[in-house]
Structure 1
């Protein structure tokens, strides 16, 4: 694990391999360890960088509210410090929404995109209110009970029944997340802009991946992005939920590798 001090915070990140940079952004309430299988598989073809987002993992917690704009700014500053100009950028769930924000601010820095189990549209009023309620709840109660409620929504029934190691890894990430960081992200996410109009402006190769049993960002959201982003590719991984990269890593990695190979080989 490496650390960089930028924008008044310390960002923890891992870096594997060499070649064209691929940056992967984790979701909420996780950390960079969710990309372990991807780092091991893809480091042979590119330089894989996995940061902990502000408030998560080894990165500084800033209580209050963390907006998508702040997350994207943190990433830009980290890349500047590493001397990296252009990247392939991917994210899952909240990480995917940060991908949208980064592309909105810095399109010239993006060579290709991965959008995994995410959505561009804003929350409904009900969902927005629930984020604020959840923020207060985890601050008052901690992450343990929240983790147990969240797991069967994050992971497919088959994963819950037959992959105890995956269940344990996801649980561990959630309970190790500091409530102050998670609550700040929840508040910022509730106030995020609508990225749907951005879809038609995306002009780089884009891969969209979604689990067939994803309760949070269902197939319809992936199809919306696929229709909106010209030339994008979509892959539906059967029998998994919101975390296909952990539930079915071999299949996820094969799809991602097939997408990446012609891009990195042309560099």
Structure 2
């Protein structure tokens, strides 16, 4: 089922399909629910799979100049109430992982567990915030296609780019159709997000890290530091993936998430 609903006056697009233990897939920056198409088509064979276009991207609307991670988590909570899901597993890719952590902090009772897929609990560094400001400037100069053509290949491991050339082109198209206001709202929201390390250290919820060993955004050093810092976490290391493990190593990622969901 595909549907539009209004969340505080903002249109939200979501997809609800399959049967079994509910899993909610949250996309990353510049992406939409479409990024999960192939992954969801397999996961829905064993689970109920819900995915949405987070406000500001895809077919969903924009609400203001900054979409905080808490606001996005509230949108996810609204959808869960609407479709009658009491508890679920949240799987957040990149920015979707930031939303997952905000949701887990606000609505822990609604989760069985959660997965940070190429994502971390760390806030933006000063350097990263400066980079986001530069990206906002490019967006305001109507250079969204340039951003898309730069970011899409970077999301894949260098030695996977030829093999996934079609997927990269699909990402470029997906990224480039986002509205200027939505991109800016999400960049502003990521800039001001909380440091979630204290929360992650204290939560009783089971959680899982999935890291790509060829990720251009999360270094091996950072991944190893987080794995050591949170020994309670389940961990999947994708040896041949960049930042898109659910595409680059879809089978092993799918099996790990199915096992984690239980």
Displacement of 1:93 after TM fit?
Answer: 0.5
The 5 Å alignment of 1:78-117 reads: 78-117=79-118
Displacement of 1:140 after TM fit?
Answer: 1.6
Contact kept, 8 Å, 2:138 with 2:144, in 1: the verdict is no
* Aligned equivalent of 1:48: 49
* Aligned equivalent of 2:220: 219
* Aligned equivalent of 1:245: 246
Deviations 1:41-61 (A, max 9, x none): 111221100010001111112
Distance in 2 (alpha carbons) for counterparts of 1:23 and 1:226: 24
* Aligned equivalent of 2:127: 126
Distance in 1 (alpha carbons) for counterparts of 2:225 and 2:17: 33
Deviations 1:127-186 (A, max 9, x none): 112212211211222311111221332111122122211111211211122221011100
Distance in 2 (alpha carbons) for counterparts of 1:189 and 1:20: 30
- Normalised by the length of structure 2, the TM-score is 0.94
Displacement of 1:254 after TM fit?
Answer: 2.0
Contact kept, 8 Å, 1:135 with 1:186, in 2: the verdict is yes
* Aligned equivalent of 1:207: 208
Unpaired stretches in structure 1, ≥5 consecutive residues:
none
Deviations 1:208-245 (A, max 9, x none): 11111112123344334434445321111112211111
* Aligned equivalent of 1:165: 166
Structure 1 stretch 98-107 or stretch 248-257: which is displaced more? 248-257
* Aligned equivalent of 2:183: 182
Distance in 2 (alpha carbons) for counterparts of 1:218 and 1:13: 32
Distance in 2 (alpha carbons) for counterparts of 1:110 and 1:224: 26
* Aligned equivalent of 1:2: 3
Deviations 1:170-203 (A, max 9, x none): 1121112222101110011101110011111222
Displacement of 1:258 after TM fit?
Answer: 2.5
Structure 1 stretch 44-53 or stretch 134-143: which is displaced more? 134-143
Distance in 2 (alpha carbons) for counterparts of 1:114 and 1:16: 20
Q: CA RMSD in A?
A: 1.6
* Aligned equivalent of 2:154: 153
* Aligned equivalent of 1:61: 62
Displacement of 1:204 after TM fit?
Answer: 2.3
Contact kept, 8 Å, 1:135 with 1:184, in 2: the verdict is no
Distance in 2 (alpha carbons) for counterparts of 1:214 and 1:85: 34
Name the SS for the 1:173 alignment partner.
helix
Name the SS for the 1:10 alignment partner.
strand
Contact kept, 8 Å, 2:66 with 2:186, in 1: the verdict is yes
